[in-house]
A and B are shown apart, each in its own frame.
Chain A
């Protein structure tokens, strides 16, 4: 019957043995495999393995040197940080010293100015006193002279110069004594 598909016949017919083959197939497989193994070992696996190992070593080396570089950088950084801290401390000290110096100088200047002012004041006071005394003396002299003249006129008698001088001197001495 032509409708009957051949594939439905799953019963193993003669020659359909799934274990078909002989020891020759096994020998062929062994020989071929060993040839492939030997050829590849010589021409492929060696170079591939060396390539992979070289790369691994390179990566390992690079990692190690990177780590070393990082450590170096770290220690350098620490150095710089220490130096920076020292410099900052130094700067702080310099500023502090300057401040103290400035305060000292300012105080000195202030003292100096103060003493100059005091001197000037004293000098002025002395000059004023001197001027006052001189003015008073002149005033007394003038007043005495005028008083004598007035007195002379009152007495209608002309005092001579020597008398007049004697009276003035006497009055002055008396004034000064009173004044003191």
Chain B
């Protein structure tokens, strides 16, 4: 039995948080999973892209996405581009959609891979690549605040860099939020704070959602093990069914959360970018500093 796997830990947190390999933080579960996710993402997207790309046969078949995988990738990419970002970024959509797609797919694959109990599967198969089955592989890279912060900083640089490149003066004019001059002492600091709060909220939202969900799953699984062993026999196993069902429910919820969080991170990046670069909206309203307020909070 591999139940002792979970019992090895002092608390569910131990099953969830990142750990250094051989006590060195140069490499940890998070970094291993990041690389793994990168490989999976590329293996998913690149073959699909070949089949979505225009063919060369000169027939109508050239314009069709061929195969299940290509259609899966295409339907999501197309939805993000046409339904989500086109209304925000207008004619600039295709210019920035690449990085937005990358955010979505990369975060999604990271989130989903985190739901695969890789360490536990390897332990059951008695494969122990790192010598200790709780270290080195498994877990979610996106539940590390360091990883989500890095992604949020990239998002921050992308949003503000793009806006500055597009309209340098306009970017700084934006900080006044179109308010009269006597309001500037209030508006400008608020806008500047808003600029930095946005990526902070992005990183914290993703981190907290992924960590929270995994802790619940680990806790409920811990109950399964505790009840089974604590009471033992038919009573213990019978009682353990309830937290097991709960685990399954939360696990499925986590699959949904994986998609939602990947989407929200990407969507908010696109939304913030659009507020910085698309100027066809009413300048009197206070865009920019209340995003964290009306952002979908999950």
Contacts and interface: CB of A to CB of B under 8 A. Distances in A.
Interface residues of B, number: 67
B146 interface: yes
Interface stretch (A22-30, A70-78, A151-159): A22-30
Given A5-B222, A24-B26, A13 B77 contact: no
B18 to A, nearest CB: 5
A118 B125 CA distance: 132
A23 B149 CA distance: 10
Given A18-B211, A29-B147, A37 B222 contact: no
B52 A6 contact: no
User: Which of A6, A7, A26, A47 has the most chain B CB atoms closer than 10 A to its own CB?
Assistant: A7
Q: Main secondary structure on chain A at its contact with chain B? A: helix
A58 B7 CA distance: 60
Contacts of A54: 54, 62-63
Contacts of A26: 146-147, 149-150, 153
B25 A24 contact: yes
Contacts, number: 187
B154 A36 contact: no
A16 B94 CA distance: 43
Interface in B9-41: 9-14, 16-19, 25-28, 30-31, 34-35, 37-38, 41
Interface in A34-50: 34-37, 39-41, 43-50
Contacts of B37: 32
Q: How big is chain A's contact interface, by range?
A: 35 or more
Nearest to B82: A52
Contacts of A16: 10-11, 13-14, 17
B219 A44 contact: no
A29 B106 CA distance: 11
Contact of A29 (B7, B9, B78, B146): B146
Contact of B41 (A15, A36, A52): A36
A149 B30 CA distance: 173
A53 B63 CA distance: 10
B151 interface: yes
Interface of A: 2-3, 5-13, 15-30, 32-37, 39-41, 43-55, 58
